[in-house]
Each structure stands twice: as C-alpha cells, then as structure tokens.
C-alpha cells in the first residue's frame, strides 16, 4: 500500500480465528464500566460469544484475532489478561469512541 505522500506500507492478510466453545466460555461473565455506569454480560449462545446489555437485543460478536472480537456494527472489543493469562476486562472501540474500559466482576452470567 502506498501513496505519493507516505512511504510504502506492507499489509499482511490474516484469517479470523475460530476458537472452540470451551475457549469462548473463558470470556463469559459480567463486566462493569465505571465511565459508562453500566454492565455488559457475555455468554456463549449457539456456539458464539454473545453480548447482552440492558438497552439492545443480544448480539453475537465474531473473533478476529486472539482476545479481539468484532460486532456487525463495527464495534471492536479487545479483552485484557493479567500476568496469569486470566481475562480481567476489555476495552470497547466504536466509531469515535476509543478504549472505554470494562472490568470483569463475575465469571458466570445468566441471560
């Protein structure tokens, strides 16, 4: 990729990952954002990681690379891990919204 004002860039094609249900289940739980004063809940439903919140219908998010998922509306969710590789939270990126932090507050979720 290049244009006349910048140095050429080399982009690599990637194939989205397809983690097994047991791996997806590690992301399940309740996450809280102090900034937005809300909770997001994730559960595995019909083999996909599904996001539940209070104001919209639940929707599936698709894995792209390890710890990153994409919603059909362009929202990106990037999960964070601690030194022991446990999932501790995630950041949301959507449109002009950047890095809204959520912290994992519960391992299991009921939807």
Give the pLDDT confidence of 31-63 residue by residue, as tens digits. 999 999 999 999 999 999 999 987 788 999 999
Q: Read off the pLDDT of each residue in 18-33 and give the average, rounded to a whole number.
A: 95
Does 102 score more than 80 pLDDT?
A: yes
| 8-state DSSP, 26 | G
The 3-state DSSP composition of the chain as helix, strand, coil percent (nearest 5) reads 5, 50, 45
Average pLDDT for residues 69-92, to the nearest whole number? 94
For 12-25, give one letter per residue: b (16+ CB within 10 A) or e. eeeeeeeeeeeebb
At 71, is the secondary structure helix, strand, or coil?
A: coil
Q: What is the pTM of this model?
A: 0.82
Distances 88 to 13, 18, 31, 96 between C-alpha atoms, Å: 29, 21, 9, 24
């Amino acid at each position: 990729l290049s244009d006349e004002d910048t140095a050429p860039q080399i982009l690599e094609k990637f194939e989205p990952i397809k983690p097994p249900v047991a791996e997806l289940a590690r992301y399940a739980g309740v996450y809280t954002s102090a900034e937005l004063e809300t909770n997001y809940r994730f559960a595995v439903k019909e083999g996909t990681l599904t996001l539940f919140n209070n104001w919209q219908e639940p929707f599936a998010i698709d894995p792209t690379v390890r710890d990153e998922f994409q919603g059909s509306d362009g929202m990106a969710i990037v999960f964070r891990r601690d030194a022991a590789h446990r999932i501790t939270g995630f950041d949301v990126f959507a449109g002009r919204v950047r890095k809204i932090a959520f912290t994992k507050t519960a391992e299991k979720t009921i939807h």
